[in-house]
Structure 1
Amino acid sequence: MKKARYNRISSPNQKLERQLAKNHPEELIFNDVISGSIPFAERPMGISLLEAIENKKIDYISISSVDRLGRNINDILDTLDYFTKNQVILKVDNLGIESMIKGKPNQVFKLIISVLGNVAEMERQNIRERQLEGIAIAKANGKYKGRVRGSSMSTEEFLYKYSNVVKEIKNHPDLSIRKLAKITGKSVGTVQSVKKEMAVS
């Protein structure tokens, strides 16, 4: 078998070690640093992996968990269908099962993936609903800061989106904006905007 491992983290300050723990020497490694909301086929390493499949360089892929593929159930199932059509087996480490058995789709695998994908999507929706409830409460109490200049998001939404930047600013208040940008993988302008919104929030 021609094996590969796909890993994904959302930001540079996260670590890949846990996902790489089960890596085997013969596996080709594809590491993406990107949000799980981005469709698999639009990610830099996702594109590279799909190209490797088309060139018959891969027929077995391992991932640590389903959410590495994505957060949208339709995108997850589309990616899984693509693998199956190309006779590529997908193994999810934390489930311990494979997408195909003796060359045929494993229906139990697909069912489990569908359930987990839907649960993840529901959790995302719950987070969004709680966020909107918090905004409504802030508005009622006169504490809502409104939309960030140049953005379609409120201050709360903006800071939530860049929560990793907020965390680094709080943990390292004496670091320069340029160094914070390097640590978080964000632009200097983004870090400046986050710092500004934190000061008025």
Structure 2
Amino acid sequence: MQLKLFAMSKVKYIRVSTTEQNTGRQEVNANQFSKIYIDKTSGSVQFTERKEASKLISDIEAGAISEIHIASIDRLGRNIIDILTMVEYFNKRSINLFVENIGMFSLVDNKPNPSFKMIVSVLGNVAEMERINMLERQRQGIELAKAKGTYKGRLYGTRMSDEDLLNKYKAVVRELKSGQSLRRAAKLGGCSLGTAQKIQRLISL
């Protein structure tokens, strides 16, 4: 579906975590939009670093979009800072963001909606906590598997290059560069504290 530049269109942004996930549920109202952007990537990946989200931003800068719909606020990210940063970006460009599961617009009469910001802040914090809890459960599962002798990690003797490490843990790189602690960066990025320390050494070179 082609988006006509400078037409000031209503679009939808969809994100699912893996290529195997079905986007059908988020596309039920697809015929209401001039264009749909679909990313299949983790919510921990910064919005501006996603392929389709980057195209959406380019269309915003070209003056082609007036309204964006998303199914839920965690489609923008799992980090409250990233979520609020994107909401502020949309507000400054008078882009009205509509979050379907709360039925609310970010702008009212072209001014920031204070109720929207309050609710989004709460939901964003919940999304972030859910991710931290998920990573903690994952860590506990690994520890349990190790104790049982059933854990299968990276093969002995294999080594990831520095470039591959930074690419794999972009979220950790982002958190550390923004001044977050090693422990927080490791939790949000889904890696061990030792890996976060190595990443910090690499980005400090």
After TM superposition, is the score higher than 0.5?
Answer: yes
Structure 1 ranges of 4+ moved more than 6 A: none
Q: Indicate the SS of the match to 2:29.
A: coil
Larger CA deviation: 27-36 vs 45-54: 27-36
- Name the counterpart of 1:177: none
Q: Indicate the SS of the match to 2:20.
A: coil
Larger CA deviation: 88-97 vs 3-12: 3-12
Distance 2:159 2:83 in 1: 29
- Tell me, yes or no, if structure 1 residue 84 matches structure 2 residue 91: yes
- Name the counterpart of 1:171: none
- Tell me, yes or no, if structure 1 residue 93 matches structure 2 residue 100: yes
Shift of 1:76: 1.0
- Name the counterpart of 1:195: none
What is the root-mean-square deviation in Å for CA atoms of aligned residues?
A: 1.9
Q: Indicate the SS of the match to 2:127.
A: helix
Picking from 44, 51, 61, the partner of 1:37 is: 44
Aligned letter for 2:102? L
- With normalisation by structure 2, the TM-score equals 0.68
Kindly tell me the number of residue pairs found equivalent between the two proteins.
Answer: 152
Distance 2:108 2:71 in 1: 19
Shift of 1:25: 4.0
Distance 2:136 2:143 in 1: 10
**Taking every aligned residue pair, what percent have the same amino acid on both sides?**
47
Distance 1:125 1:137 in 2: 18
Larger CA deviation: 49-58 vs 2-11: 2-11
Distance 1:132 1:7 in 2: 29
Say if 1:23 and 1:132 are closer, same or farther in 2 by CA, change over 3 A.
same
Ranges in structure 2 where 5+ consecutive residues have no aligned partner: 1-7, 161-205
Cα displacement string for residues 16-75 of structure 1 (whole angstroms, at most 9, x for unaligned residues): 111111223442211112221111101111111111111110010001111211111111
Picking from 72, 78, 82, the partner of 1:75 is: 82
- With normalisation by structure 1, the TM-score equals 0.69
- Tell me, yes or no, if structure 1 residue 134 matches structure 2 residue 147: no
Q: Which has the larger radius of gyration?
A: 1
Distance 1:12 1:140 in 2: 32
Picking from 62, 69, 72, the partner of 1:65 is: 72
- Tell me, yes or no, if structure 1 residue 28 matches structure 2 residue 32: no
- Tell me, yes or no, if structure 1 residue 103 matches structure 2 residue 110: yes
